[in-house]
Amino acid sequence: MTRATRETPVRLTQFAHGGGCACKIPPGELEDVLGGLLRPPGAIATDTTLLVGLGTGDDAAVVTLPAAEGAPAQAVVSTADFFTPVVDDPYDWGRIAAANALSDVYAMGGRPIVAVNLLAWPRDVLPLDLAREVLRGGLDIATEAGCHVGGGHSVDDPEPKYGMAVTGMADPARLLRNDAGRPGLPLSLTKPLGLGVLNNRHKATGERFDQAVATMVQLNRDASAAALAAGATCATDITGFGLLGHLRKLARASKVTAVIDTAAVPYLDGAREAVRDGFVSGGTRRNLEWVTPFTDFGDTDADTRFLLADAQTSGGLLVAGEVPGAPVVGELVAGGEYSVVLR
CA distance 332 to 179: 12
Q: Please provide the DSSP assignment of 162-189 as one string.
A: EEEEEEEEE-TTS--BTT---TT-EEEE
80 φ, ψ to 5°?
-150, 145
Task: Judge whether 21 counts as a catalytic residue.
Answer: yes
Task: State the SS3 of 18-83.
Answer: CCHHHHCCCHHHHHHHHCCCCCCCCCCCCCCCEEECHHHCCCCEEEECCCCCCCCCCEEEEEEEEE
CA distance 240 to 252: 18
Q: What's the residue count for the chain?
A: 343
Task: From the candidates 21, 23, 147, 234, give the one annotated as an active-site residue.
Answer: 21
211 in helix, strand or coil?
helix
Which strand (E) or helix (H) includes residue 114? strand 111-121
Q: How far is CA 68 from CA 73, 77, 78, 174, 301, in A?
A: 8, 19, 21, 19, 56
CA distance 175 to 75: 9
Residues carrying an active site annotation: 21
